[in-house]
Amino acid sequence: MAGQVSAGDTAFVLAGAGLVMFMTPGLAMFYGGMVRQKNVLATLMQSFCIVGMVSVLWALVGYSLAFGPDCGHFIGSLAWAGLHGVGQAPNKDYAATIPHLAFMIFQCMFAVITPALITGAFAERMRFRGFVVFTVLWSVLVYAPIAHWVWGAGGWIRNLGALDFAGGTVVHISSGTAALAAALIIGRRRGYGDAVFASHNLPLTVLGAGILWFGWFGFNAASALAANGLACNAFVVTNLAASAAAMSWAAAEWVRHGKPTTLGAASGAVAGLVAITPASGFVAPLPALLIGALAGLVCYGAVQLKWRAGYDDALDVVGIHGAGGILGALATGVFASRLINPAGANGLVFGNPHLIATQAIAVGATVGYSFVVTVVLLKAVDVVMGLRVPEHQEETGLDMSQHSEAAYGF
């Protein structure tokens, strides 16, 4: 019954929130294995601290700004600041069978992982204090407004009819675009293009990728906000897209270089997870396989472009999350079906070409807003306290220069 709390739905969404929270430590491992040994703890520290910082910020103001009562279709009011009025009863605007608090904490974990994704772009060269201030500002001024546009009751992109089931636009396009801005503003690592920056622990990266894959079932399936058939569909298509993308990325490497790599397969799986995210509640299994296969190829190609463009996106955030998110959002406009989700819309292959245009508007608005505001925030933080560590600290490594620690005792 609408408005009555379901124990099953509540348990499912809370479990999903736990899975999404686990993704951020998984991301820390995924990123940490790819950096050089002297920067691994600093890389882990960024993601780990984001869990705490953004969780507190979300309770104080972030949730209210993202999902609170609408102000001009752009942002939520501060009516729910400090979680005032967010209690155990359902909120009809978001989920009718789970407590409002359950919806809030589930969305909190999305707000947590999004700025953590950006850290891969400026890995090995950003001051910790600059990172902290930038993360706080970005979460409030970029993530919260975009989340309200797309998911908030009254948000203009939601009113437009754009579809984003679990965060392709809100999470991946916003963070991928911010990552590009960060790579351009902060600049390349010392020796980039001349020295070989080898991953120091690929087994750690593969473990992180596995945790991400596991957690993504909560990311996508629990976005149904109920333990129902739509959640089952999201779970299945998530696995299929990740599997197809891992194989297509590895195949692309095999064709181009004669050998597939472990890092490529892991990166491909993440690319497939990114691309299926906005579509997971709107497409059937076979389109999901196609979206995944395309994601592996498109994101592999996008990663190669950074070498030609000359920017240093250290851990391929732009190529995987930016390009993968855009592909997924547009593919949703092609393959979405009301047979899968009656609350959605039909896409191109089901007779509605207008949905692609709507998706493109959402993509363009997210890219433009995230890029411009991120540039402004980075410039401001740089003026006030500096973004980048001095050359001698970068040479020493961020583990010692920023945290006075070493990852390994031998």
Pair 265, 292: CB distance under 8 Å:
no
Joined tokens for residue 306:
């950074």
End-to-end distance of the chain based on CA atoms, in angstroms?
60
Asked if pLDDT for residue 2 goes beyond 90, the answer is no
Amino acid at 164: D
Q: Is the pLDDT of residue 1 over 80?
A: no
Q: How far apart are CA 187 and CA 248, in angstroms?
A: 31
Backbone angles phi, psi at 76, to 5 degrees: -85, 160
Each domain of the chain, given as residue ranges in start order, spans 7-403
Instruction: Convert 237-267 into a string of H (helix), E (strand) and C (coil).
Output: HHHHHHHHHHHHHHHHHHHHHCCCCHHHHHH
Q: How long a stretch of residues is the chain?
A: 410
pLDDT of 248-284, one tens digit each?
Answer: 999 999 999 999 999 999 999 999 999 999 999 999 9
Asked if residues 370 and 317 have their Cβ atoms less than 8 Å apart, the reply is no
Tokens of 210: 């596995």
| Residue in this structure with the two tokens 């410039």, named with its chain if needed | 379
Is 17 strand, coil or helix?
Answer: helix
Three-state secondary-structure class, residue 91:
strand
Residue among 80, 137, 208, 154 nearest 373 (CA): 137
Token duo for residue 329: 């959002």
89-117: average pLDDT: 97
pLDDT over threshold 90, residue 410: no
Average confidence score pLDDT of the chain: 97
| Alpha carbon of residue 68 to chain centroid | 22
| Tens digits of residue pLDDT in 310-336 | 999 999 999 999 999 999 999 999 999
Of 241, 247, 245, give the one whose Cα is nearest residue 220.
Answer: 241
Judged on CB neighbours under 10 Å (0-12, 13-18, 19+), 396 is middle
Whole-number Å distance between alpha carbons of 63 and 111: 9
- Provide the pairing of β-strand 70-71 with 75-76: antiparallel
For the segment 346-391, what is each residue's pLDDT rounded down to a tens digit? 999 999 999 999 999 999 999 999 999 999 999 999 999 999 999 9
CB of 177 within 8 A of CB of 371?
A: yes
Q: What percent of the chain has pLDDT over 90?
A: 98
**What CATH class does 7-403 carry?**
mainly alpha
How many other CB atoms are found less than 10 A from the CB of residue 317?
27
Q: What is the reported pLDDT for 196? A: 85
Residue for token digits 């129902």?
228
d(CA 236, CA 111): 24
Nearest to 314 by CA among 151, 133, 403, 186: 186
Q: 172-183: per-residue pLDDT in tens?
A: 999 999 999 999
Q: At what angle do helices 285-309 and 229-257 cross, to 10 degrees?
A: 40
- Is residue 3 pLDDT above 70, yes or no? no
Query: Whole-angstrom Cα distance, residue 164 to residue 192?
Result: 36
Average of per-residue pLDDT across 44-50: 98
Q: How far apart are CA 327 and CA 291, in angstroms?
A: 8
- Give the integer Cα–Cα distance in Å for 167 and 198: 31
| DSSP bridge pairs for 388 | 126
* pTM greater than 0.95 (yes/no): yes
